[in-house]
């Protein structure tokens, strides 16, 4: 059976924990979008990892991890992560890297700095936007190029020549040396060279054999390049709607589609956020939830659960169930607000606007629910949850018309309640 795990908000929903749990039973785990902008927190046998590119399958010997063509891959970051996981396991995880996945190269990070998108959009500064742009502009370097050193160097020469003409006299650009870069890349990528190949074929074969295939989403729906809060988005498709194109399998027939949503909302980087909580309460939630970015360490902006955004995410991901994470963080609040609609120009709407200008004019319309005082960290069954917490979950599920299958009450793998 195939399963997909997707973020329903602005990323950081806690997908890492859910994929790590589900990867245990998977034959193959596939990351299909983004690159080292993602930071998935995984606790594996007591050791905490922040993974950025390696799919969660890597923690289980015998499970194959695939980096599909929709990703942009920074080989250096991959190598570091891979070596750390290998040392932790005492063996080397099996991976497949799509030959047609694009590489993030040192000049992509440099371009992000020169162009100022790091500041303007609040990106993770990992070179994501410039790498996807090179892909679309047909000047990118792909993983498969690492297998042909002469071709790699020729492509780097062409690309770097363009850069030098676009940024004359800029020291970081003038210093770029294609030959040196090619040699370094091949050196760092050495352990992966036998793993670069036909990822789409491997996924298709596993699906047709009926194996357990797990698709691991990165970022969240509201960061989708087309359907998110453009331009305050990432540069890839983050939704189930974009998944088939990102893996090269037109109809992967994914039976279980898990939409992961935090019990409240967070966002890193710039852009409108109607249900944002300012002041002391926002800071309290940030502290209680440990809301600091895994990739950049930046504090995450915090807000109440936003059903308008979530309805939009339900439409784009068609989830068969929801996983609600970090429910434990809400313990101790007398009341909990949920944004059930927006008000714009004096009118109430439940439609999520695609224009950020419109979104920034929206104010939240809240419903207030009763909170609970009990600690939830040790709860392991639905019956162990306080009445008010169950009511909160039921309210979310009813409003969105999607059952809740998983509730997470702590970062550890066993701090999980199964509801279906």
**Can you give the binding site for ligand IMP, defined by CB under 6 A?**
10-12, 37-39, 121-124, 126, 128-129, 218-219, 223, 232, 234-235, 268-269
Q: Which residue, 240 or 372, has its beta carbon nearer to ligand IMP?
A: 240
> How far, in whole angstroms, is CA 7 from its chain's centroid?
7
Identified catalytic residue from 20, 40, 52, 108: 40
* 3 state DSSP class of 196: strand
- The contacts of residue 220 (CB under 8 Å, 6+ apart) are 6, 7, 8, 9, 10, 11, 12, 13, 238, 313
Closest CA to 324 of 417, 219, 398, 388: 417
Task: Please state the closest distance from residue 38 (CB atom) to ligand IMP, in A.
Answer: 4
Chain residue whose CB lies nearest ligand IMP: 269
| Tokens representing residue 326 in the block | 């970090």
Q: Which residue, 292 or 395, has its beta carbon nearer to ligand IMP?
A: 292
Dist. CA 189–CA 349, nearest whole Å: 51
Task: Please state the closest distance from residue 15 (CB atom) to ligand IMP, in A.
Answer: 9
Q: Which residue, 72 or 141, has its beta carbon nearer to ligand IMP?
A: 72
* 3 state DSSP class of 399: helix
Cβ atoms of residues 102 and 131 within 8 Å: yes
Task: Please state the closest distance from residue 39 (CB atom) to ligand IMP, in A.
Answer: 6
Q: Which residue, 68 or 206, has its beta carbon nearer to ligand IMP?
A: 68
Strand residues in 52-123 grouped as ranges (E) = 64-67, 72-73, 94-98, 102-103
Let me know if 345 is a catalytic residue.
Answer: no
Q: Which residue, 92 or 125, has its beta carbon nearer to ligand IMP?
A: 125
Task: Please state the closest distance from residue 118 (CB atom) to ligand IMP, in A.
Answer: 8
| Tokens representing residue 387 in the block | 């009445």
Task: Please state the closest distance from residue 269 (CB atom) to ligand IMP, in A.
Answer: 2
Let me know if 40 is a catalytic residue.
Answer: yes
The b-or-e profile of 340-352 (16+ CB within 10 A means b, else e) is bbbebeeeeeeeb
Tell me 131's DSSP state.
H
- The Cβ of residue 359 has, within 10 Å, a number of other Cβ atoms equal to 21
Active site residues: 12, 40
């Amino acid at each position: 059976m195939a399963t997909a795990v997707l973020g329903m908000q602005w990323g950081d929903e806690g997908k890492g924990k859910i994929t790590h749990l589900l990867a245990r039973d998977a034959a193959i785990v596939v990351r299909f979008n983004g690159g080292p902008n993602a930071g998935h927190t995984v606790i594996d046998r007591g050791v905490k990892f922040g993974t950025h590119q390696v799919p969660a399958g890597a923690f289980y010997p015998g499970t194959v991890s695939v980096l599909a063509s929709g990703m942009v891959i920074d080989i250096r970051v991959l190598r570091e992560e891979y070596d750390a996981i290998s040392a932790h396991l005492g063996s080397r995880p099996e991976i497949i890297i799509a030959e047609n996945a694009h590489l993030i190269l040192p000049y992509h990070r440099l371009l992000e700095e020169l162009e100022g998108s790091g500041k303007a959009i609040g990106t993770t500064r990992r070179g994501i936007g410039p790498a996807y742009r090179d892909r679309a502009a047909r000047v990118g370097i792909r993983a498969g190029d690492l297998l042909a050193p002469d071709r790699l160097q020729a492509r780097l020469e062409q690309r770097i020549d363009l850069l030098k003409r676009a940024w004359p006299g800029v020291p970081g650009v003038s210093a770029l040396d294609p030959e040196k870069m090619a040699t370094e890349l091949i050196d760092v990528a050495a352990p992966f060279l036998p793993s670069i190949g036909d990822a789409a074929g491997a996924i298709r074969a596993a699906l047709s054999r009926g194996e357990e295939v797990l698709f691991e989403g990165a970022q969240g729906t509201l960061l989708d390049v087309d359907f998110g809060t453009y331009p305050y988005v990432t540069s890839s498709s983050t939704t189930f709607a974009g998944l088939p194109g990102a893996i090269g399998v037109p109809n992967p027939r994914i039976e279980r589609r898990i939409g992961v949503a935090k019990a409240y909302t967070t966002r890193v980087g710039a852009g409108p956020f109607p249900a944002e909580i300012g002041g002391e309460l926002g800071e309290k939630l940030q502290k209680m939830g440990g809301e600091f970015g895994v990739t950049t360490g930046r504090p995450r902006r915090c807000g109440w659960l936003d059903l308008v955004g979530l309805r939009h995410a339900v439409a784009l991901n068609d989830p068969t169930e929801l996983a609600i994470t970090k429910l434990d963080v809400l313990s101790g609040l007398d009341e909990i607000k949920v944004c059930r609609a927006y008000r714009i120009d004096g009118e109430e709407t439940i439609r999520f606007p695609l224009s950020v200008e419109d979104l920034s004019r929206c104010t939240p319309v809240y419903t207030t629910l009763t909170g609970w005082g009990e600690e939830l960290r040790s709860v392991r069954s639905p019956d162990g949850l306080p009445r008010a917490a169950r009511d909160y979950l039921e309210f979310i599920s009813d409003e969105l018309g999607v059952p809740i299958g998983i509730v997470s009450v702590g970062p550890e793998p066993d701090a999980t309640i199964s509801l279906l």
